[in-house]
Amino acid sequence: MTIRGFRGELLSVSRDPHRHPDAIRHEPDGLLVVEDGIIVARGDHATLADRWPGLAIEPLPGLIVPGFIDAHVHYAQMDHIASHGEQLLDWLDRHIFPAEKAFADRAHAQRTAAVFLDELLRNGTTSALVFPTVHAHSVDALFDAALDRKMRLLSGKVLMDLGPEGLADTIDSSRDESETLIRRWRGRGRLGYAVTPRFALTSSDAQLHVAGALLADHPDVLLHTHLAENLRECAAVAGRFPQALDYLDAYDRFGLVGDRSVFAHGVHLPDRACARLAESGAGIATCPSSNLFLGSGFFDFGQADAHGVRIGIGTDVGAGTSFSLLHTAGLAYQAALSRHYPLDPFRALYLATAGSAALLHIADRVGGLEPGQEADFVVLDSESTPLLARRTRNAPLADRLFALQILGDDRAVARTYIMGDCAWERAGSVRAAS
């Protein structure tokens, strides 16, 4: 048994402050007590320390927040981030499908998975819902690498029987491989499975049925796919599913819309679809850097809030342009403002932590720095660049947090902890303890 204390400035937002303003929890001089990777106590250092005589306490200079949770990211696309020139459908054909074909090679998948997870940790991301490729071994490679790092991660083989040659599965192989993977990985480490049809256009009706049946047979798995990202995509979906009321309804007809469903983007949604998302408990992973990069549009926070849609946030690398959820939160602010919604920095922090955790059904385990949760956390350094230091010096908490989101990125992540152990440390990040 190991028990340790971490002393520093603590901040978490465990419920949506838009509806629960009292959910913002801040201890300027706080103490986090961690036993065998689990948080057992949290509070003001002055009041809590007496209750733990003899506790070894490590001072952590910086702002300690829950580890970031990326609600939508593609590991196979990391080496094709920043590929120039096209919107979604042409970008997939020209850049992404060729990149994903290379994952037929298991060793390539294993090498990329390791680099990808290290990149997440470098950016302060401790959990993620990840798109791999159509290849079953791309899931094994990712889950093995996550087990090595003790990370809480969710993923599942991509289903795409209408995909391009060399990247298409079949109705039978997608069912059988998904079943095998669910059985192989269930209950191991901190992993979770997500049935992952790529999007409506790359699966036949029969394969969408298979996805619905997998969900019905395995109530513990998630559904993870793309929804209403790009206008040309939406028009193609409307042409393919003439009976559907809208894009979401095309999924709904196959049993794919429920409280364990995570839809990336949702940029172009009619009110009916938002109402149905809210009613079903399904949620959107908004991906602002991707939406900007591919010219897809801007997520409408006002519309989503009017209907009570659950929201998390994702980087969507390789369409997304950064692994940093700090930077992505800053872009979410700018995207929201273009639709006249001034996203609050505490709400942005919520989206990147407990909000995404709720979407991924892991909020009982991570995202809030609450006793009983796993000790995944990040130490942020608001002096990591000269400009950030100038902007945040003597600034109130809300201004510091906002500046970290607008000006910060991986450079502002001094340390990343997984289950109470330091999993990544920026060179030179340990300043003299005060």
Nearest to 75 by CA among 105, 111, 107, 104: 111
Of 130 and 423, CB closest to Zn ion:
130
From the list 6, 68, 116, 199, which residue makes contact with ligand GUN (rule: CB under 6 A)? Answer: 199
Q: At closest approach, how far in Å is the CB of 163 from ligand GUN? A: 10
Least distance CB 131 / Zn ion (angstroms): 6
Handedness of CA 234, 236, 239, 241 (dihedral sign): negative
CB of 285 to Zn ion, least distance (A): 9
Identify any residues that bridge with 312 across adjacent strands, giving them in sequence order.
285
Q: Binding mask 218-247 vs ligand GUN (x if CB under 6 A, - otherwise)?
A: --------x--x------------------
Q: 242-281 mask for ligand GUN (x: CB under 6 A)?
A: ----------------------------------------
Of 144 and 316, nearer to ligand GUN (C-beta) is 316
* Short-list 350, 287, 348, CA closest to 321: 287
For residues 164 and 197, is the Cβ–Cβ distance under 8 A?
Answer: no
Site for ligand GUN in 53-92 (CB under 6 A): 74, 88, 92
Q: How far apart are the first and last CA of the chain?
A: 29
DSSP string, 302-355: HHHHHHT-EEEE---TTTSS-S-HHHHHHHHHHHHHHTT----HHHHHHIIIII
Out of 316, 344, 374, 410, the residue judged to bind Zn ion by CB under 5 A: 316
CB of 317 to ligand GUN, least distance (A): 9
Smallest gap from residue 90 Cβ to ligand GUN (A): 12
Q: What does the block give as tokens for 339?
A: 């639709």
What CA–CA distance (Å, rounded) separates 430 from 426?
Answer: 8
Question: Of 161, 316, 374, 376, which one interacts with ligand GUN (CB under 6 A)?
Answer: 316
Cβ closest to Zn ion, residue 316 vs residue 344: 316
**Binding window for Zn ion (CB under 5 A); candidates: 200-208, 234-242, 305-313, 315-323:** 315-323
Interface with Zn ion includes 144 (CB under 5 A)?
no
Phi/psi of residue 421, nearest 5 degrees: -110, 140
Decide: 352 and 17 in contact? Cβ < 8 Å: no
Residue 160 binds: one of ligand GUN, Zn ion, none (C-beta under 5 to 8 A by kind): none
The pairing of beta strand 377-380 with beta strand 3-13? unpaired
Q: Give the x/- contact pattern for Zn ion in 256-275, rule: CB under 5 A.
A: --------x-----------
Least spacing, CB of residue 287 vs Zn ion, in Å? 7
> Judged by CB, which is closer to ligand GUN: 100, or 410?
100
CA distance 189 to 153: 9
Question: How many helices and strands, by DSSP H and E, does the chain display?
Answer: 17, 16
Between residues 325 and 369, which has the closer beta carbon with respect to Zn ion? Answer: 325
User: Count residues contacting ligand GUN (CB under 6 A)?
Assistant: 11
Least gap, CB of 245 to ligand GUN (angstroms): 21
The entry of Zn ion, ligand GUN, none near residue 92 (CB within 5 to 8 angstroms by kind) is ligand GUN
Question: What is the layout of strands, in order, in the sheet containing 24-35?
Answer: 38-44, 24-35, 3-13, 57-66, 377-380, 413-418, 421-425
Whose Cβ is closer to ligand GUN: residue 199's or residue 241's? Answer: 199
CB neighbours of residue 148 within 10 Å: 12
How many residues touch Zn ion under the rule CB under 5 A: the total is 2
Comparison of 7 and 327: residue with beta carbon closer to Zn ion: 327
Q: Is 290 in the site for ligand GUN (CB under 6 A)?
A: yes
Q: Does 321 participate in binding ligand GUN (rule CB under 6 A)?
A: no
Supply the minimum distance, in Å, between the C-beta of residue 292 and ligand GUN. 12
DSSP state of 406: H
C-alpha to C-alpha distance for 317 and 406, rounded to whole angstroms: 19
CA distances 250 to 202, 228, 240, 256, 391, Å, are: 13, 11, 9, 9, 47
Q: Does 100 bind Zn ion (CB under 5 A)?
A: no
d(CA 371, CA 347) in angstroms, rounded, equals 21
Our finding on whether 198 is near ligand GUN (CB under 6 A) is yes
Residue ranges binding ligand GUN (CB under 6 A): 74, 88, 92, 96, 198-199, 226, 229, 290, 316, 319
By the criterion CB under 5 A, which residues form the site for Zn ion? 264, 316
